[in-house]
Amino acid sequence: MADPEMLQVHAVENATDHSGTCIVRCISGVVRIGDVFTTAENSPNTATTLLSIEKIERYREVFVDFIDPPHAAKVHFSGPGTGSLEHGDILIAAHSDPDEPTE
């Protein structure tokens, strides 16, 4: 089984309760537009979030369909709880189980 998709929030550029833009680093898996993430248990932020990736911007005005480790990008999220994101938060794909052993 492949590594779960995981992101780490480096900076929150702007955020409301339902959308936001963050600088993130991909720390595991291949993260694609449309993937849904939640805050990992070991994240500094204990608020539960459910975020969908709307856009991934690798360079100024250069949009891509995915990012992979160890790359960083500006990611545009939508979903409840976006406003609670903080520096250092670990986001994990909602379909992934971090406790499930990999093969």
- What are 32-73's pLDDT values in tens digits? 999 999 886 655 555 566 889 999 999 888 999 999 999 999
Nearest-angstrom CA–CA distance, 39 and 94: 9
Model-wide pTM > 0.75: yes
CA 31 – CA 52 distance, rounded (Å) = 11
Q: Mind listing the pLDDT tens digit for each residue in 78-91?
A: 988 788 888 999 99
80: amino acid identity, one letter? P
